[in-house]
Structures are given as C-alpha cells and as structure tokens.
Structure 1
Amino acid sequence: MIPIHHEDKKYSLRYRIVTVSTSRTMENDRSGTIMEELLENKASRGLVKDDEVMILSDLFINYGSTDVFIYIGGTGISRLDQTSMAIRKIADREVRGFGELFREKSGGVFPYISDASLFIYKKKIIFTVPGSEDAQKIAFEIINGMVNHLYHEINKE
C-alpha cells in the first residue's frame, strides 16, 4: 500500500464502475466484474459505448451519487478509444502520475500505449484504465492505495 501523509482516515467512498465498449454487455463484461469484486461489490455499474457524449453523460447523471469513477476501456489508440480524451475535455486537473505508475507496474510494452490516467473534476476522482482483465488488479491496487488521500486532499478546504 502507498503510504499516506498525515491522515489515517478511511472514507466511505461511493464508487461507480463504467465500462466503455462497443462490444461488451453487462453479462460478458469480465473486467467490470473483476473490478466490482475487488471493490467488494460496493460500486454501482454502468456500460456505455465508445462515444464522448455517452461517456460524459454517465458521469453527469451519476455525479451526485458518486465520489470515485473508474472508467474501464477506451484508453487505447484506436479511433474508437475516446475515454481519456472525453474526460480530459472537462477535467479541472489531470494527475499524470497514476498513468505512469500503472504503466510501470504493468510491465512490457503494451501498457505504454494506454492512456490510463487520473482526473479531478469538481471534487470527483476519475480514473481511466484499460479494459483488459489483467489491468484491473493492477489498477485496483494503485487506486486503493491512493484514493483516501486523494479524497482528503481535494475536500480539505
């Protein structure tokens, strides 16, 4: 676990997992299921197509009931992959260190062509991670290690 600075407080954060895909359904979305299990089934779930309007609509619709959004998929380099680009357009801040750490921990070459990232939007924490099943455990370990500190920092004012 990544150490936090001065606070040991654990927040009861509300998570939303949003799978972004043109081919998956809720029934065959193995990556979303893995992330949901890692979050101990304490997250709401959604699935949207690789479409900027749909990606952002889910965020706006669930804004009031969610503290942490985890978008799974749509972070690659195909013309259909729009997740990080869509979030980047509205984000107040992008924290590139999450993507860097994700790529480092993933190993190999392919993670380096992923646009995994961390964004802050109006005091909401938004992660974008690749859609592969293997990526979910790595992403979760990083997210779990930093999310309480992130939440504290963006809400301490």
Structure 2
Amino acid sequence: MSHVHANARFVPLGIAVLTVSDTRGFDRDGSGDLLSECLSEAGHVLVDRRIVPDDIYRIRAVVSKWVARDDVQVILVNGGTGFTVRDTTPEALTPLFDRAIDGYGELFRQLSYDSIGTSTVQSRAVGGVANRTLVFAMPGSSKACATAWDGILASQLDARTRPCNFVAMVMPEQQACAGREAPKVPDHGQGAHA
C-alpha cells in the first residue's frame, strides 16, 4: 500500500476533465463535477473542462489539443468505456498513447469488483502517457469516478506518495520512484573534472 513521505512536498498539477456523453450538459454532469471537486480539493488546478459526444474523432481532437498544452499534465476522461456501440473512448485514446499504463485499468477493475461484482469485466478503463501527459479514462458514473479518484488517482498524482507516483513522469524536476534513483558513482577523489 502506498504512503505519503513526510519530507516530500505536494506539487499541484494542471488537470483537464473531459466528460464523454451524448446526453449530458454541464447542468447534469455529476461525474465531471465530482472529478473537478476532487482534484481541486486535493490542491491541483482545473485547467479546462469539456463535454463531447461519444465520437472517436471528437474525443481524440480534444485530448490531442490538451496533450499539446504545456499547462496540462493530466487528463481525466469519464464515460464511453463500456461495450455498447456508442462506447468508443478506449478506441479514441489508445492510438494517442506513447505508453499504456496497463495497471491502471487492472487496478480499477479490481477495486470496482467489490461494489459491482463480475460486471466490472465490462469496464474498459484505460490509462496511458501521451507527450508526457497522463491520460486516465474511467466509466461515466459518479461512483466509478470516485473509485478511480479515491482508490488510484489521488495518491498516484501526489508527489509525496512512496514508493512511486506519476508526478515525476510529467514534472521532470521531481524525484523518481524511491529505490529507483540512479546509483551514485563514487568520486574516488578525482573531482568533477577528472
């Protein structure tokens, strides 16, 4: 289980929230509201928030623009991760990933099993890194968003979490995972200019 390291400092990240829905507007976007509140309460900055229909190219267009921005380090996408014909979020996002974060979807399904049982196999929650930007997609229910935030994202987006967190991946000046730092090379008295 992760823990917060006493000597590390919190690093606020710029986070964008995208709700994928054919029917919701901002007046009925409980999941987007929840994620926005959670990230703000944690000390991060909500940089942008949008709602788009469940369309591969519209999802990909918004996420691509955010990935190119310097002030966005994390993108949280809710909705469109099921198995209906209209659920296309994973297909929209995975071509953008430079590297997939397979453990995110695996852990999300493990956590959600406790509340929804075997129905969790129908969740296609995915995560990845695109242009040093973290992208996490989750189901569109408020309960699923709370599971993702409370069970995974809150700690992994906190630079104080040890032994590892994702902050070093998007903020290069931050320390890498504890125990994985580059080994120190002995100086042997030759100094830096030997």
TM-score with structure 2 setting the length: 0.74
Higher relative contact order (CA 8 A, sep 6+): 1
The match for 2:82 among 66, 76, 96 is 76
Range with bigger deviation, 72-81 or 102-111: 102-111
The alignment of Structure 1 onto Structure 2 pairs a total of residues equal to: 157
Question: CA offset at residue 10 of structure 1?
Answer: 2.4
Structure 2, unaligned stretches of length 5 or more? Answer: 159-164, 174-194
> Which residue number corresponds to residue 99 of structure 1?
105
CA distance in 1, matches of 2:153, 2:66: 20
Range with bigger deviation, 72-81 or 107-116: 107-116
Q: Helix, strand or coil for the counterpart of 2:143?
A: helix
1:90 equivalent to 2:96? Answer yes
Question: CA offset at residue 61 of structure 1?
Answer: 2.4
Question: CA offset at residue 110 of structure 1?
Answer: 1.7
CA contact 1:4–1:146 (8 Å) conserved in 2: no
Structure 1, unaligned stretches of length 5 or more? Answer: none
Question: CA offset at residue 3 of structure 1?
Answer: 3.4
Question: CA offset at residue 34 of structure 1?
Answer: 1.2
The match for 1:46 among 46, 50, 60 is 50
CA distance in 1, matches of 2:33, 2:128: 23
CA contact 1:125–1:151 (8 Å) conserved in 2: no
Question: CA offset at residue 50 of structure 1?
Answer: 0.6
**Aligned AA (2:86):** L
Identity %: 29
1:138 equivalent to 2:147? Answer yes
Q: Which runs of 4+ in 1 moved over 3 A?
A: 153-157
